[in-house]
Amino acid sequence: MLPPNEKTKPMYALEAEKLVKRFANHLALNEVDLNVPENKIYGLLGPNGAGKTTLIRIINRITAPDSGQVRWKGRPMQNEDIFRIGYLPEERGLYKKMKVGEQAMYLARLKGLSRQDAAIRLAYWFEKFDIESWKNKKLEELSKGMQQKVQFIITILHEPQLLIFDEPFSGFDPVNTQLLKDEILNLKNNGATVLFSTHNMASVEEICDDITLINQSKVVLHGEVKEIRRQHSKGIYTLSTADGDLEEQKGKVYDTLSCESKNNRLYLTVQKKDSITTGQLLRELSSQYDIRSFEEVIPTMNDIFIQTVQQ
């Protein structure tokens, strides 16, 4: 029987330990750690120049760290593990003069698929993404959104265990952005692990389970998205009352941040005082108002990103 701490220890698909990378006089990564759980969507966040791209290039073995180690499912990562990764870079890299179907087949074969398997999978995805009629066109004849659909298909075609998406929604309209979000969630549900780098914090809240935030080459924040948002809450609540003619009341356990009468309702934003519980706050408010709605204001990942980076 395993000890209790080993029973609950999570399995990581990818781990980076104390990665350091320097380019001339620029320190790109400064002892960066990363622990990506299996079968999760993991957000890799940070402002421009923070070190995210360097970290992704090290994971893909495009470049090597000066020190530190990357592990794949508990063991040091090896060259052959690249076949278990699908990488969609921010700077798309398809051949614009080459026909869509031909280069999709070529790149699928490079990832180890047989011609027959590649043809079956390409037919499925081209039909699903409604680009079947474009397979004999040169890539430069496609719109930017169509080109990105092709690159997405090529990235996932060999059914990698780890998918790395760097700004996958860049240039997409809302309809196609939602299409890709749905597919990323489907890939996770089918067993893939996703490392997701983006500046779109709304997408982070929508699909990411965990995040790591890098700033100035260091990890400054990491953990579960829901827990991070809860930890950054400031005890602010909104409520509405049944009667908009009521006057603002003085609170012993809270401060009123705003008060507005509209459509026969009174709308308030309050902040509970330190050491006061939510239950104590609600009891006092209930003694003063006929409450119709009551909700905590949880900070967005965008707010947390800006606050953490500025600090």
pTM reported for the whole predicted model: 0.87
Q: Could you give the 3-state DSSP secondary structure of residue 261?
A: strand
CB-based contacts of 164: which residues, under 8 Å, 6+ apart? Answer: 56, 59, 60, 85, 86, 87, 88, 194, 195, 197
Please indicate, yes or no, whether residues 240 and 215 belong to a single structural domain of this protein: no
Angle ∠(46,171,209) on CA atoms, nearest 5: 45
310 belongs to a structural domain = no
CB-based contacts of 220: which residues, under 8 Å, 6+ apart? Answer: 213, 214, 308, 309
Where a domain ends, among 229, 251, 278?
229
- Chain-centre distance of CA 235, in angstroms? 26
What is the predicted pLDDT for the residue at 10? 66
- The whole-angstrom separation of Cα 213 and Cα 43 is 8
307 belongs to a structural domain = no
21 belongs to a structural domain = yes
What is the predicted pLDDT for the residue at 245? 67
40 belongs to a structural domain = yes
Please indicate, yes or no, whether residues 222 and 253 belong to a single structural domain of this protein: no
> For helices 174-189 and 144-156, what crossing angle results, to 10°?
0
What is the predicted pLDDT for the residue at 8? 54
- The whole-angstrom separation of Cα 45 and Cα 67 is 22
199 belongs to a structural domain = yes
Position of tokens 């957000």? 43
Full residue range of the structural domain in which residue 67 is found = 4-229
Residues in the chain: 311
Kindly report the backbone phi and psi dihedral angles of residue 232, in degrees, each rounded to the nearest multiple of 5, phi listed first.
-95, 5
Cα-Cα-Cα-Cα torsion 155, 161, 164, 165, nearest 10 degrees, comes to 60
User: Which residue stretches of the chain are H helix?
Assistant: 4-7, 52-59, 100-110, 115-128, 144-156, 174-189, 201-207, 225-231, 278-288, 301-310
Please indicate, yes or no, whether residues 258 and 243 belong to a single structural domain of this protein: yes
- The whole-angstrom separation of Cα 219 and Cα 20 is 12
Please indicate, yes or no, whether residues 219 and 238 belong to a single structural domain of this protein: no
Please indicate, yes or no, whether residues 87 and 198 belong to a single structural domain of this protein: yes
Going residue by residue through the chain, which has 311 residues, state the pLDDT in tens, using 9 for 90 and above. 555 554 455 689 999 999 999 998 899 999 999 999 999 999 999 998 899 999 999 999 999 999 999 999 999 999 999 999 999 988 777 888 899 999 999 999 998 899 999 999 999 999 999 888 888 999 889 888 888 889 999 999 999 999 999 988 887 888 889 999 999 999 999 999 999 999 889 999 999 999 999 999 999 999 999 999 999 999 999 999 988 767 788 889 999 999 998 888 899 999 999 999 999 999 999 999 999 999 999 999 999 999 999 98
What is the predicted pLDDT for the residue at 281? 95
Please indicate, yes or no, whether residues 159 and 19 belong to a single structural domain of this protein: yes
What is the predicted pLDDT for the residue at 148? 87
Please indicate, yes or no, whether residues 240 and 217 belong to a single structural domain of this protein: no
Where a domain ends, among 203, 229, 255?
229
Please indicate, yes or no, whether residues 285 and 214 belong to a single structural domain of this protein: no
What is the predicted pLDDT for the residue at 96? 87
Q: What is the CATH number of the domain that holds 143?
A: 3.40.50.300
Total number of domains in the chain: 2
Where a domain ends, among 181, 205, 229?
229
State the burial class of residue 45 (Cβ atoms within 10 Å of its Cβ: 0-12, 13-18, 19+): buried
Please indicate, yes or no, whether residues 259 and 220 belong to a single structural domain of this protein: no
Angstrom CA distances, 85 to 161, 213, 302, 305, stand at: 6, 22, 29, 28
